[in-house]
Amino acid sequence: MKKTIAAAVALAIGAGIIGAGAGLAAGTADELITARQAEMKANMAAMKAMVSMLKGETPYDAAAVKAAAKSMADAQAEGVAKGVWDAATQTGATVKTGAKPEIWSNAAGFDAAWKTFDTAVAAIAATPDEASFKAAFPAVGAACKGCHETFRAAE
């Protein structure tokens, strides 16, 4: 059963990364905003898989946790490489974005928020067992929440 869960998580996360990668190849503001949104969707898919384990809805699976953390790190690295956070992506012609102008006007704060996220994701990836995963996971949630509260417009 654990292998089935890990395979399902890996498939879902992989699909998110592939979707993100397809969008990231583009270069207009609309395309880059769409790619940035795909990056966040990949993160959300990874978070859902880990939250399910955290809540005991699915059994803890170390391989699935590592796959989720890798998905998050890979999505971010790909987005950064393609420039999805470039100032030219503040507004799109047709694609609406939830990114606040503070991302660019407070670049140091945004960079610090990403570093906090990176550190939390790396800590999750390094967890050797369920107890350490459960202890490390709140930092990931806090990093997401902190960034969204400051740098993402309310829906």
Query: Is-contact 79 41, C-beta < 8 A?
Result: no
SS (HEC) of the chain: CHHHHHHHHHHHHHHHHHHHHHHHCCCCHHHHHHHHHHHHHHHHHHHHHHHHHHCCCCCCCHHHHHHHHHHHHHHHHHHHHHCCCCHHHCCCCCCCCCECCHHHHCHHHHHHHHHHHHHHHHHHHCCCCHHHHHHHHHHHHHHHHHHHHHHECCC
Please indicate if the annotation marks 148 as binding a ligand.
Answer: yes
Q: 95: annotated binding-site residue?
A: no
Residue 55, marked binder: no
Please enumerate, by residue number, every residue annotated as part of a binding site.
144, 147-148
Binding-site residues from annotation for heme c: 144, 147-148
